[in-house]
Structure 1
């Protein structure tokens, strides 16, 4: 182990990183083979490939500014080449090409802005440090992007468990409070109409008798079909008058 210097270790790990990055750049090949076979992008998005191209361009610019960065130049040159092919295939088969082209234009414009600002407003080692920090922040942002999905879902999961635990703890106490409360008693008095039927029957009989006395008619009282009362059936009036007949 004593024979390895810092330069050798850096070269070894840099070469290992290039090998891993090479396979990372080739990982979308099955996806684009499927796109080529079906002649459609289906539900795939172009954002990862545009971002990968932007990252490779930044790192290659940093490698040109930094001396003795052959490994960075080689792997990121390959990255720019393969990502450009991916984006071209995506635009060719995408039904909505405007969004991808717009995103690509924004990416190229952003890279050009960084290139101009660092070239004219920073010199020497300061420029290298600024570009290095830009590459670092961008790389961390790319890897931390899924946290925008993970963090809200994790917090929602935790708060959901807390709510269920609190509900399980206090659901019985609410029932006890309801039982302890003395609700006002409501008395309902139901008056049955059957109790008034005899009185109504007597009133009907009196009215029939009175009518018979006044009009001189014969009234026949029949029970109602339901048996609860009396109904009066009045016959045709028989006036007490005689009509003289002449021969």
Structure 2
């Protein structure tokens, strides 16, 4: 098999793992629908993931970065899934939360529209467009990778990994690793950098799980503090 075929196969595997991670919050939303309440959970991870996916879709379009179909497909799925999650959240949260979601959504639209306009107007080559959009995607991904620090802090403080599921931690590690391989096969630094962080994040999560698994009270039925839940991987591209 040639390099392009191998890269395509790796990308397909990456799509499957990323789809699994996108769908990982489903039990939370089943619970929200069941109780008709968002409880203490927050919409921030899903709004951020939605923006992240749209940016990577733009990055993967032929006008910006040719030959990146698998980047577009996986993040298109991410957009559909997170729009669904945000819609459910909007349906069952109170007006203050709805107001915040509307404001954030409008700001995201304005940011994306501005990014598209600047990229297509001021940059006229694929390398220049890829660099501009790629840098923005990397910055957003790095910012999003800060969000699991809340969960990590909670794990260390409580010495409990009950709300940091091992299957999701392993998924994050596999997701970061597979997209890191994908980026390495054609050396795409903008995909590589966030997924190096994703791989490291997954290793840290699994390390914490191994360390605190024995001190976790699995019979405790309390809700996660402040709606804490392990967010899916920030970068699925």
- In structure 1, the residue matched to 2:35 is 38
The structural deviation recorded for 1:147 is 4.6
Distance 1:32 1:87 in 2: 10
Paired residues for 1:90-169 under 5 Å: 90-96=89-95, 97-125=98-126, 126-147=128-149
1:87 and 2:86 are equivalent in the alignment: yes
The structural deviation recorded for 1:71 is 1.1
- In structure 1, the residue matched to 2:218 is none
CA deviations 1:107-164 (Å, max 9, x no partner) are 222111211111211111211221122112211221134458879xx9xxxxxxxxxx
- In structure 1, the residue matched to 2:227 is none
Distance 1:75 1:26 in 2: 12
SS in 2 for 1:127: helix
Flag the structure with more relative contact order, 1 or 2, with Cα contacts below 8 A and sequence separation at least 6.
Answer: 2
Paired residues for 1:199-210 under 5 Å: none
- Is 2:60–2:72's contact at 8 Å kept on the other side of the alignment? yes
Question: Which of the numbers 18, 23, 26 marks the counterpart of 1:21?
Answer: 18
SS in 2 for 1:40: coil
Distance 1:83 1:135 in 2: 18
Over the residues paired in the alignment, what is the CA RMSD in angstroms?
Answer: 2.1
Paired residues for 1:230-241 under 5 Å: none
- In structure 1, the residue matched to 2:159 is none
- Is 2:43–2:86's contact at 8 Å kept on the other side of the alignment? yes
CA deviations 1:181-223 (Å, max 9, x no partner) are xxxxxxxxxxxxxxxxxxxxxxxxxxxxxxxxxxxxxxxxxxx
The TM-score, its normalising length taken from structure 2, stands at 0.59
Hey, which of these two has a bigger chunk of strand by percent?
1
- Is 1:91–1:101's contact at 8 Å kept on the other side of the alignment? no
Q: Classify 1:74/1:150 alpha carbon distance in 2 versus 1 (closer, same or farther; 3 Å).
A: closer
The TM-score, its normalising length taken from structure 1, stands at 0.56
- Is 2:65–2:129's contact at 8 Å kept on the other side of the alignment? no
Hey, which of these two has a bigger chunk of helix by percent?
2
Distance 1:145 1:39 in 2: 26
- Is 2:29–2:85's contact at 8 Å kept on the other side of the alignment? yes
- In structure 1, the residue matched to 2:198 is none
Q: Which has the larger radius of gyration?
A: 1
Distance 1:148 1:24 in 2: 19
- In structure 2, the residue matched to 1:170 is none
Distance 2:151 2:25 in 1: 22
- In structure 2, the residue matched to 1:176 is none
SS in 2 for 1:144: coil
